[in-house]
Amino acid sequence: MPNTTSPSPAVERIPMACIRPSAQRCYYGAQHLELLTDRMRIHGLVNPIVVRRATGGYEIVDGLRRWWAARFLGWRSIDAKILPA
């Protein structure tokens, strides 16, 4: 039987300046973001964010809070899975 599952996207390091939130997403409460920021400061990024190619860069599909926390931490780049077009 042929393999019908699509390959998992590779993880790449993407500059934070090239990534933007989706227009459909919203900002989360400061308390939740503080906790995540503290965890990422200690443990780093456990799961990469997921993005898709968009005009001028990438748009976040999953991982908005992790992206915000990385921005607050001053990260210049972040690990991301890029969805195929």
Do the Cβ atoms of 55 and 18 come closer than 8 Å?
A: no
Do the Cβ atoms of 54 and 61 come closer than 8 Å?
A: no
Q: What average pLDDT score do residues 49-78 get?
A: 95
| 11-82 under CATH 3.40.50.2300, yes or no | no
pLDDT value of residue 22:
83
Residues 14-61: tens digit of each pLDDT: 999 999 998 765 666 778 889 999 999 999 999 999 999 999 999 999
Domain definitions of the chain by residue range: 11-82
